[in-house]
Structure 1
Amino acid sequence: MTYWTLAALVLVAALWWLGDVILPFIMGGAIAYFLDPFADRLEKLGLSRVMSTIVIALLAVLLFVVLSLAIVPTLVRQLGQLVALAPDLLNSFQTFLTERFPELVQNSVVNDTLSSIGDAIKSRGGELASTLLSSAMTVVNLAVVIVVVPVVAFYMLMDWDRMVAKIDGWLPRDHAPTIRQIAKDIDRVLSGFVRGQVTVCLILGTFYAIALMLAGLDFGLLVGSIAGALTFIPYIGAIIGGTLAIGLALFQFWGDWMQIGIVAAIFAAGQFLEGNIVTPKLVGDSVGLHPLWLLFALSAFGTLFGFLGMLVAVPVAAVIGVVARFLIDQYLHGALYRGVVESEPPDTPTGFINEETGAVTGVVAKENES
């Protein structure tokens, strides 16, 4: 408990006073941890650790170039177009309610609410979108992302196995097996959730984006990206993405029910793939990181430490969960839970001896039989 408490205090102090300094190292370490299994597989194919790291770095540079030139500008443009189109969407929805349910809209607060929402989006929507983009680039400085983080990730990925072996050599010998088991449990949770869930988000986001663009939806790339990014919260990504996609499809394809049904079928197919194929294969059922606990950790660490806190929220949540389960297991096997009578053998054997036959019955008889 002393060492865990000291480690927690050092972590909090580092996040509080050295947040901007350690941000690129945290990001680089997260990238190296995420890519370590790929480097191990390349080593099994015959490449050295250095060559494996170089191959992964070249692929990462290629992916970065594709994202920078093709996908990110399109997402920004579609976000601006969607913000500009939002008042028209609300007006169409208001007209629909007026025609279908006049008693609901007329002489009620619904009409005023929709009108005020449309005016607010029209006046401040563009400002909000630009503020979000500019603040994101302020938090994650472009120079840090382009220069420092890739360098840190490259060297940490190249030396990952040696760093793990060195840390293992520092463990106290009496407690090394227990600490290794806790570390394996933490790695299982992180690899199962972080690597698995990020991969699930990428797969489903790509599927939704490509399928919606092929279906002819104007904002297919943006809607697919939003649905994929929110997939780590069960059902939320599909509900928000599906509602947004079907709403846009109703606005764009009104009267063409076949086209609207195709958009709805895309999200139904995505949910089937996620629940039956992708998530069970990549994440599994034994991760042990509940979505509510994850949301709480993201909110708490994000409020306390900003963007850096959100980066470390998932690993810290995994560590706390594993250590808490370990402590609970120790408690359930200890004298405090089981009681002194159950945890310690009795001083005198219980049972009695039959005077006629000399047979021993009770607890002692069972022990003698065994």
Structure 2
Amino acid sequence: MQGASAANPSIFPASHCLRQISGLRLDHNCGIILCPKHTANGREATGKMMEQKVSGASLKRQVTFWAIVLVAFVSFVYIFSTILLPFIAGMAVAYFLDPVADRLERIGLNRLMATVVILVSFVLIFALALTIFIPIIVNQFNDFIQHIPTYVQQAQQLVAKAQTMVLPDWIRNQLGAIKDNFSSIMSDGLSFVGGLFAQIWSSGKALANIISLMVVTPVVAFYMLLDWDRMISKVDDWIPRDHVATVRQIAREIDQAIAGFIRGQGSLCIILGVYYGVGLSLVGLNFGLLIGLFAGMISFIPYVGSMVGLVLAVGVALVQFWPDYLWVGLTLVVFFTGQFLEGNVLQPKLVGESVGLHPVWLMFALFAFGALFGFVGLLIAVPAAAACGVLVRFALSRYLQSDLYHGRSEAGRARRAKAGKPENS
């Protein structure tokens, strides 16, 4: 490893080392460094490290400290939310591409050349997508919005035809209410989507944000990717030495959670979006690329992406191809094969055993951060949710080892002994 981490082997290793070093490593400068993978052995090592008696006063001090950190973080993001977008985007790009830079270093390139090669390639790919795919998607989106009333009317006509063929009497009697509710839902949904896009466009001076994204983000990403290992090493030097093992372990778990979700789940969403978009376009479905990319983009929430995409695609297919069942069936095949690939190939290979985020917690984080901080909040919601999840699990483990949980009486000591917890630190 080049840079600061090579000069001082006792410092906290760079992000790629956190996911590659397994077990315990003996360092002549700083003794034992815990670097367990996120496996059963890693969890056992973490548990042993955390298994110590925690006093109630110590637990209260820790809770107070993290509460202050949380308030400071929320206040900072809230105050500077209108200018943070390019900086957060640059950090995300650097974090996403850091393992690639580390691999290029291992094959002989220095950090500067690796950073230049990666960012030039990234900018070229992004520019290619911006000039080829973005106009197509924008045109399909505009056409989709314009044709929604026509599709709703045709769908109602199909429902009216179907009621005379296959529906029982008790459903036919409710079709009037169903039509009214369906129209109301579609109207509310369109109003929500339109308002959401209007809010995103108007929040934080959208034009200035777009220009800053194009100009500032590559610069921020370049410098952060170039100095990533050095920054990690410097932050490690600031950790109180009495708590360095605990802080390093928490940092590793947060890194695993964020990396597993952003790199693994992000790659999965991109692959699924491309697959659905290309598949639906080959079937000949109107707005197939738009629907497919949208379904892939929201696939980070299990089942939601595929279900929403399936409903949209089948609805358009029924209106477009009816009564030709073959093309409707091919539309279903695209989504069913996509689900098979996701569950049996992409999920095990790309995400694997990395720490996941509960779908409910993830949706809450997206809505909460989006409501508080706008589009910037949507960008930081996932890493913030992952970090909060790790910190909450750590706080719960400390609470279960504290006097507040076991008590200081003889009965409390007996419970601690029965649970296998040591009496002393």
What is the TM-score with the length of structure 2 in the denominator? 0.74
| Residue 213 (structure 1) shift | 1.2
Structure 1 match to 2:94: 32
Supply the AA of the counterpart residue of 1:192: G
Per-residue CA distance 1:40-82 (angstroms, 9 max, x = gap): 1111121111111111111111112211111111011001111
| Residue 187 (structure 1) shift | 0.2
Pair 138,78 (structure 1): closer, same or farther in 2 beyond 3 Å: farther
Residue aligned with 1:59, SS: helix
| Residue 91 (structure 1) shift | 1.5
Structure 1 match to 2:377: 309
In the TM superposition, 1:101-120 aligns within 5 A as: 101=163, 104=172, 108-112=176-180
List gaps (5 residues or longer) in structure 1: 347-370
Provide the C-alpha distance between the structure 2 equivalents of 1:218 and 1:307, rounded to a whole number of angstroms. 29
Q: Which structure has the larger Rg over C-alpha atoms?
A: 1
Structure 1 match to 2:285: 217
**Comparing 126-135 with 11-20, which one deviates more in the overlay?**
126-135
Task: Identify which of 292, 298, 305 aligns with 1:230.
Answer: 298
**Comparing 335-344 with 219-228, which one deviates more in the overlay?**
335-344
Contact 2:275 2:292 survives alignment (8 Å): yes
In the TM superposition, 1:289-300 aligns within 5 A as: 289-300=357-368
| Residue 286 (structure 1) shift | 4.4
How many residue pairs get aligned? The number is 345
Structure 2 match to 1:350: none
Residue aligned with 1:19, SS: coil
| Residue 266 (structure 1) shift | 0.7
Supply the AA of the counterpart residue of 1:45: I
Task: Identify which of 235, 250, 268 aligns with 1:182.
Answer: 250
Pair 170,119 (structure 1): closer, same or farther in 2 beyond 3 Å: closer
Structure 2 match to 1:351: none
Structure 1 match to 2:350: 282
Supply the AA of the counterpart residue of 2:274: T
Provide the C-alpha distance between the structure 2 equivalents of 1:121 and 1:179, rounded to a whole number of angstroms. 45
Supply the AA of the counterpart residue of 1:73: P
| Residue 21 (structure 1) shift | 3.1
Per-residue CA distance 1:288-330 (angstroms, 9 max, x = gap): 4211111111111211222222222222211211111112112
Pair 91,166 (structure 1): closer, same or farther in 2 beyond 3 Å: same
Task: Identify which of 124, 127, 137 aligns with 1:75.
Answer: 137
Structure 2 match to 1:252: 320
Supply the AA of the counterpart residue of 1:42: L
In the TM superposition, 1:41-120 aligns within 5 A as: 41-101=103-163, 104=172, 108-112=176-180
Pair 3,334 (structure 1): closer, same or farther in 2 beyond 3 Å: closer
Structure 1 match to 2:399: 331
Per-residue CA distance 1:156-214 (angstroms, 9 max, x = gap): 01100000001101111111111000000000100011111111110100111111111
Pair 106,17 (structure 1): closer, same or farther in 2 beyond 3 Å: closer
| Residue 9 (structure 1) shift | 2.4
Is 1:171 aligned to 2:231, yes or no?
A: no
Provide the C-alpha distance between the structure 2 equivalents of 1:180 and 1:107, rounded to a whole number of angstroms. 61
Supply the AA of the counterpart residue of 2:275: F
Contact 2:85 2:213 survives alignment (8 Å): no
Contact 1:83 1:121 survives alignment (8 Å): no
What is the TM-score with the length of structure 1 in the denominator? 0.85
Residue aligned with 2:284, SS: coil
Tell me how large the CA RMSD over aligned residues is: 2.8
Structure of higher RCO (CA pairs closer than 8 Å, 6+ residues apart): 2
Supply the AA of the counterpart residue of 1:28: G
| Residue 130 (structure 1) shift | 7.5
Provide the C-alpha distance between the structure 2 equivalents of 1:126 and 1:187, rounded to a whole number of angstroms. 33
Provide the C-alpha distance between the structure 1 equivalents of 2:246 and 2:192, rounded to a whole number of angstroms. 54
Provide the C-alpha distance between the structure 2 equivalents of 1:62 and 1:39, rounded to a whole number of angstroms. 17
List gaps (5 residues or longer) in structure 2: 1-61, 416-425
| Residue 138 (structure 1) shift | 4.1
**Comparing 106-115 with 197-206, which one deviates more in the overlay?**
106-115
Structure 2 match to 1:355: none
Supply the AA of the counterpart residue of 1:79: F
Provide the C-alpha distance between the structure 2 equivalents of 1:139 and 1:314, rounded to a whole number of angstroms. 22
Supply the AA of the counterpart residue of 1:318: A
